[in-house]
């Protein structure tokens, strides 16, 4: 084997190992069960509140051993909804989302349990209720991708920011 061929092979191997390593670290950070007590934000969206599904959703949450630390029913105004969803402000659906979230009261909750973030996202189901797994909240109570009954934080950083947004009085710095 020529030296240049060997060097190319080793360089390709090093790049592959690097991609696998950093890809795995990203995946683990987003998806692994960390086995720590976490808090996450849950929102029962206006469509589910309007359809009187709030109690059924809370029952499913408690059946999955989440502890509801705090719960509030609130009516978001346009400014609040725009601030909460500011990470989506450049997306086509932003104004429709803000209109939807201000169209009726929502129920916001702080949920706590071991691996709360990933477990809540699993219990919620896929964003599109048609693609959500059987028994998930979105499969049971969502009507379409836009009216999918619930929201949940997608990372520890998002959970902290979102809980602070609705429950600033509960956060101790």
Residues acting as catalytic residues: 151
Instruction: Yes or no: say if 148 and 46 are a contact pair by the CB < 8 Å rule.
Output: no
Instruction: Yes or no: say if 105 and 73 are a contact pair by the CB < 8 Å rule.
Output: yes
Distance in angstroms (rounded) separating the CA atoms of residues 115 and 92: 32
Distance in angstroms (rounded) separating the CA atoms of residues 98 and 12: 47
CB atoms within 10 A of CB 106: 24
Cα→Cα distances 21→25, 55, 118, 125, Å = 6, 44, 22, 28
Tell me the residue ranges of DSSP E strands in 115-165: 150-152
- Scored b (16 or more CB within 10 A) or e, 124-155 reads bbbeebeebeeebbbbbbbeeeebbbbbbbee
């Amino acid at each position: 084997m020529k030296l240049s061929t060997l060097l190319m092979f080793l360089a390709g191997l090093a790049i592959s190992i690097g991609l696998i390593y950093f890809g795995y670290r990203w995946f683990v950070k987003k998806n692994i069960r960390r086995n720590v007590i976490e808090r996450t934000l849950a929102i029962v969206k206006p469509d589910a509140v309007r359809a009187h599904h709030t109690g059924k959703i809370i029952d499913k949450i408690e059946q999955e051993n989440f502890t509801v630390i705090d719960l509030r029913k609130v009516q978001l105004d346009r400014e609040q909804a725009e601030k909460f969803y500011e990470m989506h402000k450049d997306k086509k659906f932003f104004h429709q989302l803000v209109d939807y979230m201000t169209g009726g009261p929502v129920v916001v909750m702080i949920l706590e349990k071991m691996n709360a973030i990933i477990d809540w996202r699993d219990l919620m189901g896929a964003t599109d209720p048609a693609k959500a797994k059987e028994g998930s909240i979105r499969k049971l109570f969502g009507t379409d991708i836009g009216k999918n009954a619930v929201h949940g934080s997608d990372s520890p950083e998002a959970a902290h920011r979102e809980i602070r947004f609705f429950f600033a009085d509960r956060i101790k710095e």
